[in-house]
Amino acid sequence: MEVKTIREKFKSLYGSDGATYTSPGRINLIGEHTDYNGGFVLPGAIDKAMYCVIKPNGSDRIRAYAMDLSETDEFGLDDIPVKQWSKYIFGVCNEMIKRGKKVEGFDCVFAGDVPLGAGMSSSAALESCFGFAINDMYGLGFDRFELALTGQATEHNYVGVKCGIMDQFASCFGKEGSLIRLDCRSLEYEYVPFDPAGYRLVLLNTCVAHELASSAYNKRRESCENAASHIRKYHPEVELLRDATLDMLKEVANEVSAEDYIRAEFVIEEIQRLQDACKALEQGDYETVGKKMYETHIGLSRKYEVSCEELDFLNNIARECGVTGSRVMGGGFGGCTINLVKDGLYDGFIKRATEAYEQKFKIKPKVYGVVIRDGARKLQE
């Protein structure tokens, strides 16, 4: 959908022009389920984003139109709205109010092209888009760190997903052509230029999203925290799994459940894998990066158990086609694989993967070439 169309809709609904803001979805090259363990991630903002047109309306109510769904809602800032998408807007406003700021009523229209449930962070894009817009519109003075944290708190307190900071951070801090190497504990970050000559990065969307994904996600987080708390009894310096080693985990093998053990093992290994992949990236060694991506997939599938038949199928085909790296991306339970493919193999891989997938699952997977773009911003009229 074009921005012009969203602006026209705003005008036809509310009778005047509003300001336009956008914030993108993200990819993550490697480092999955490490963020809420205080580890590292390597995301980048992409060219698929959420857009909103917005204007204060002088009242204490929010009037919103979700253009992709053709749905309207109106709510005050005191009572939690019923509609799921309204909760995101309400949550962002309330988290800002909790932080001592004054947020008043506004009118808005929003739409986007980040596929839902695809592991590309459509919800973080929505939170960051509204966070950036409301902050700018009322001059609230939040910086991008605080906006990312406000979005994350919205997930925790109004949506019920105990997510880490990666998605909101990437949406707020994205930079064209660069990945972000983020330390999720200190929030120190570094832009890593990413333009792998001779390779392409492509997402294949299984177009399946599993319903219990958010409760399963929260359960993974609990397992990690539980393992960390057992290790802490013997190693008080271990605040999160980021601080633990495999040897420390072995020491508590008899105290934690087999399930918690294997989840924690994955996370400790994944934090190391990311470090190895970053070193390889510095040397332009994409073959090693790709190898690490496959290892991540195996870990996510067998140890963390967040893959599914459809994702494993696409991962296998990548392997068979000689693709350099491939893995499930994001929270898992459906969504996309991210693939690092040599130029010469690209067309053959896409053809084979789409045909075989369609034959087996009777749905066409969607293919998105990755373009790395800037994060949250205001669009000029």
Q: How many CB atoms lie within 10 A of CB 333?
A: 22
Subset of 97-126 contacting ligand GLA (CB under 6 A) = 121
Packing angle, helices 166-173 and 144-154, rounded to 10: 140
Nearer to ligand GLA, 24 or 331 (CB): 331
Print the binding letters for residues 212-231 with ligand GLA: x by CB under 6 A, - otherwise. --------------------
Nearest distance, CB of residue 148 and ligand GLA, angstroms = 11
Distance CA 152, CA 163 (A): 7
- What track of x and - describes contact with ligand GLA for positions 185 through 214 (by CB under 6 A)? ------------------------------
Q: Concatenate the DSSP letters of all residues of 10-60 into one string.
A: HHHHHSS--EEEEEEEEEESS--S-GGGT-EE-EEEEEEEEEEEEEE-SSS
- Assess whether 113 carries a catalytic annotation: no
Length reported for the chain: 381
Please identify, among the stretches 130-138, 158-166, 200-208, 259-267, the one whose residues bind ligand GLA according to the rule CB under 6 A: 158-166
Q: Which of 35, 107, 167, 260 is catalytic?
A: 167
Binding to ligand GLA in span 314-333, by CB under 6 A: 330-331
Burial of 78 (0-12, 13-18, 19+ CB in 10 A): exposed
By beta-carbon proximity to ligand GLA, the closer residue of 81 and 332 is 332
Determine, following the binding rule CB under 6 A, whether residue 299 of this chain makes contact with ligand GLA: no
* Distances in whole angstroms, Cα of residue 307 to Cα of each of 172, 199, 358, 377: 27, 25, 19, 33
CB 120 within 8 A of CB 27: yes
Toward ligand GLA, which CB reaches closer, 24 or 330?
330
Q: Restricting to residues 25-64, which ones interact with ligand GLA according to CB under 6 A?
A: 32-33, 35-36
> Quick one: tokens of 33?
């389920």
The residue (of 32 and 243) whose beta carbon lies closer to ligand GLA is 32
For residue 144, the minimal CB distance to ligand GLA (Å) is 17
Active-site residue set: 167
What is the contact surface with ligand GLA in residues (CB under 6 A)?
A: 32-33, 35-36, 121, 163-164, 166-167, 330-331
